[in-house]
């Protein structure tokens, strides 16, 4: 049973790490845009992080929506 739990934990961690990397790519791409371009697509720079991360992601990484 312990072996299964350890394997399950590792798989979940790897999946989360993969999700985190994908989110970071999108965040970096949006941060590379200038403010006018962001405004054209309806995004404020201060909202980028909260728009990319889902509530469940925020809970997993411990920011609770901040």
d(CA 25, CA 6): 29
Cβ-proximal residues to 43 (8 Å cutoff; 6+ apart), any chain: 30, 51
What's the pLDDT score for residue 66? Answer: 46
d(CA 44, CA 22): 20
What's the pLDDT score for residue 64? Answer: 52
Exposure on the CB side of residue 37, measured as CA atoms within 13 A? 6
For the segment 10-63, what is each residue's pLDDT rounded down to a tens digit? 888 899 899 889 989 999 999 999 999 999 999 999 988 888 876 666 566 565
pLDDT top residue among 2 and 31 = 31
Domain boundaries, the chain: 2-61
| pTM for the full predicted model | 0.63
pLDDT top residue among 18 and 64 = 18
d(CA 63, CA 55): 10
């Amino acid at each position: 049973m312990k072996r299964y739990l350890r394997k399950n934990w590792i798989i979940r961690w790897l999946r989360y790490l993969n999700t985190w990397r994908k989110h970071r790519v999108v965040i970096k791409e949006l941060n590379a845009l200038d403010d006018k371009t962001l405004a054209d697509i309806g995004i404020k720079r201060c909202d980028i992080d909260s728009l990319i991360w889902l509530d469940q992601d925020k809970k997993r990484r411990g920011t609770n929506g901040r």
